[in-house]
Amino acid sequence: MVALAGAAVVGFALNAAAQGDLPHLSVQGIDLYAKPPPQDAKYDVPIVEPQRGLENLRQAVDLLMRHSPMNARAIETLKQHGRVIIVYDPQHPPPQATVDGIAAFFPNFFRPEANGGEGDFLVVVGRHGIKWPANELAAVIGHELAGHGMQRLRGERESMRMLERECEADLYQEKALQDLGVNKSSPFVVRFRKNMENRSCSDFRTFQRRNRPETLKLWEARNPDVVALLAVFREYLRDLRAHGRAAALNAGPTEAERR
């Protein structure tokens, strides 16, 4: 279960950090940890050592907080309600996972009762994502932390289908890509944009076509107006809930939630 996985990762990090055995940084109130790989562990790629991984996290988080105001505001809001933690863990994803394992938000680690009424917001960056360019990794952190974190904070996550969770988080990532000047013609961004429009936001776009056709042109820009799209997205969620289609059609847990 993700709660156990998240607890194990962060429990290890906090205990080792207290003993001075684990690299740790605090960047703008966000706790960063780097977990070393187990001895003799074998991986599908060369592993970034903890200190280098921690520096990669620092660069990405600093870029996101300084240059993507929308994502930074969301993360500042999370910080007002609990600890914000990002861990580099070379064991993520586990061998049986079917996802790419760039990073994952652990929703069930949100435990306000264990933190004086405040919550914990945990993102784990894996052995693949830690090697990404700082601006691209920053955008993924925006997706996981700002996008999924705000869903958890609002208490809406369980009433959203996986499709809508990913669509909203993708819009946060799109805004970060714009703010950080990531090349929109790169293979990574082209794949991301196609996935967002044709998969995660496909039902949202159908809603726009049927109910707010004038807003479809927002998608035609190289840099869509994400703030405007999110406003329409809230209308879409209200429509889903009004007709009882959100939780009832939940497509099931993500790979991260199954662990």
CA distance to 10, 77, 169, 218, 250, per residue, from 82 (Å): 14, 9, 20, 35, 28
- Ranking 1-15, 49-63, 96-110 by mean pLDDT, the lowest is 1-15
With residue 250 as reference, give the H or E element that holds it.
Answer: none
> How large is the average pLDDT for residues 14-34?
78
259 is written with which tokens? 């662990």
Number of residues in the chain: 259
Task: Report how far residue 71's alpha carbon sits from residue 178's, in angstroms, rounded to the nearest whole number.
Answer: 12
Give the model confidence (pLDDT) of 200-218 as tens digits: 999 999 999 999 999 999 9
State residue 99's pLDDT score. Answer: 57
Return the higher-pLDDT residue of 241 and 144: 144
Residue 194's CB: how many other CB atoms inside 10 A? 10
Return the higher-pLDDT residue of 19 and 257: 19
Q: Residue 189: which pLDDT band, with cuts at 50, 70 and 90?
A: very high
Give the model confidence (pLDDT) of 82-141 as tens digits: 999 999 999 988 766 645 679 999 887 766 555 555 678 999 999 999 999 999 999 999
State residue 108's pLDDT score. Answer: 75
Checking if the pLDDT of 153 tops 60, the result is yes
Return the higher-pLDDT residue of 176 and 252: 176
Return the higher-pLDDT residue of 151 and 40: 151
Q: Exposed/middle/buried for 28, CB within 10 Å: 0-12, 13-18, 19+?
A: middle
